[in-house]
A and B are shown apart, each in its own frame.
Chain A
Amino acid sequence: MAKTHVRNNIRVLRFQHGEMTQQALAEKVGVTRQTIVAIEKEKYSPSLEAAFKIAAVFGEPLDAVFSYEPGSR
């Protein structure tokens, strides 16, 4: 189960925003809950548009939510 190089703080941010559920975040971003699960587990890198939407939901800049970690893969 390979992880992507894109790291994120979505889980922490969800809890800081009134323990927002994955379903609630998914509905605000316009994706399925399973996609949010995959992004949180770093199994899937979202599109730039979805990443901006996620950051906007939390009212944070993109780089406060996502970061790139170059690896050996």
Chain B
Amino acid sequence: MTNLTETSMNMTFKEKSAWGSLVALALISYWFFPAAFNAASHASDPGRLVWLSIGCIVALIIMEGIYQSVIAAADGGGSDERDALINLKAERIAGYVLGIALFSLVGRIIAVEAFEVAETMTALTIAVSILFTLTVSEVAKLISQIAYYRFSA
């Protein structure tokens, strides 16, 4: 418990913020993506998918807003040159991950269309897949940020 308190005291506002965003994103994604892929592949009720997406985005904004307010009240918020450097490095990694994920998705779409190796992806499935790649890229960014804060930079 003491170690946890010490670790928390040694974190900047930005690092605490990254942890909060990662947990919130992981929780929402764990619930959202299985339901979204299921709804997209059946495509019987596209409206449900839209409401599901809006609900998740609102839930994510509310969770992050509350958490950020609490930690900002506790240690004042703010950032400096090290935060900016770490953010840039993490953004670069997230960019690589996004590029690889999107190329993989495009490759899969082309392979499905050209060689019929699997069931054709519907527009909704492609849309959810793109959302998934964006989420993976954001998770990569947050994990990189935390790793840089903990181990270097």
Contacts and interface: CB of A to CB of B under 8 A. Distances in A.
Interface of A: 1-2, 30-32, 34-35, 37-38, 43-44, 46-47, 50
Interface of B: 10-13, 15, 78-83, 151-153
A38 B80 contact: no
Given A30-B80, A32-B80, 19 more contacts: A2-B152, A31-B80, A31-B81, A32-B13, A32-B78, A32-B79, A32-B82, A32-B83, A34-B11, A34-B12, A34-B82, A35-B80, A35-B81, A37-B10, A38-B153, A43-B153, A44-B82, A44-B152, A44-B153
Nearest to B82: A35
A32 B152 CA distance: 16
The secondary structure that dominates the A interface is loop
Given A31-B82, A32-B79, A50-B81, A43 B11 contact: no
A30 B80 CA distance: 8
A44 to B, nearest CB: 6
B151 A32 contact: no
Contacts of B152: 1-2, 43-44
A67 to B, nearest CB: 20
Contacts of A46: 81
Rank and list the top 4 A-B pairs by shortest CB-CB distance, nearest first. A31-B80, A35-B82, A34-B12, A32-B12
A35 B79 CA distance: 10
Given A34-B10, A34-B12, A47 B81 contact: yes
A34 B151 CA distance: 13
B10, B12, B82: most-surrounded residue (chain A CB, <10 A): B82
A1 B10 CA distance: 16
